[in-house]
Structure 1
Amino acid sequence: MVNSKAKNNQEDGIKFPQMKNIHIRCMEKGEEDQVAKILVHGFSNELLYDENSTKNIIVTVDKNNKQIAGICKVQDSNSLGKKLSLFEILKTIPIRTAFWIIMTFSSFDKVCDLILEDEQVVESLTIHDNYKKQGIGKNLLRHAECMAKQRKSKKISLFVYEENPIAIKLYKNEGYVITHTIYDLKSLTFGNETSLKMEKTI
């Protein structure tokens, strides 16, 4: 269980920046709508299914108005295979989105090939526009690291677009290093898109 308050965790040796009126905990029942809206806003191309998602999603909550300010989803690599079938996905979404999924399956396979057993993967990290530049992203990453340690993993990783220097700088400052580069076609456009896998030993 992730600590409900942002404080130093002496057992895991992880220091959490203090944030006024913000606390971090796992997602709770009844918050699905808020979480979905932030995920869709931050990752409009993301389509994930996980029956135990509340155990993997860490949220930051504004104590004053109960607004979810940020989300971090940490997935155990041993359960990454739990996803809807292609047919079930395609019959429920617009044709344009379905085409994007088909075109990017090669990228998905490449990503899966780079994920090791017992590795924790930060699948999503997104902050609500009203709460950016408050240290929430850094705090969520450190809670994700704490969760990874509690799951007895020795490595945590994530994937980021090369064209996102702000995120890359944050990850590097938190001890992540670039280990792999993935080149693939952009979805529904011409040209190339480069993603980076970044890892941290914990």
Structure 2
Amino acid sequence: MSDSQIQEKLREMLVESRAWLEGHFKLTSGRHSGNYMQCAMLLRFPKYAAFAGGEIAKRIAALRPDFIVSPALGGLIIGHEVARALNVPFLFCEREDGRMKLRRFPMPVGKRFVAVEDVVTTGGSVKETAEHMVAGGCVWAGSACIVDRSGGAQQLGPDLVSLFKVSFPTWEADDCPLCRELGTPPVKPGSRPGAK
């Protein structure tokens, strides 16, 4: 399958699963948008999760990761699918006192990892997870996601591997045309109500 065929197939999956929403949304950053990506809706279907995980695994295999790590909660399913496709262990970090930490597993000192997330906007959670692993003595080989919706603004550098790139216009709350046109407040979807 070519990259364009994979992107078209993924687009169909995102729409069919209602992971790609259109409306009036308040993002985690506090900005407003007419589009929202909620990959949990995509990943609730095992065949879609397996497809995305397998395709990411093909793209990162050359990085030779010893394990995959993801930030909880959004990266759990896709990180596990990528690890399964590569036949390597899967670990995850979770927030403790506001910081990403490896709480449930021993630190695999000296091992190479790829940090995997479902959707990257700023890349903050992936970067924080990866930096925690590096501080613990691991080697950060790369980062990957299903959807890069950063428009080039993510903090992970040019080596971020993604299956799908999209950039939606966003606005500060005071400048939101949807607030003016619709006259209704935005919906706050997703898993984190606070700004990051």
What TM-score do you get using the length of structure 1 for normalisation? 0.30
What TM-score do you get using the length of structure 2 for normalisation? 0.31
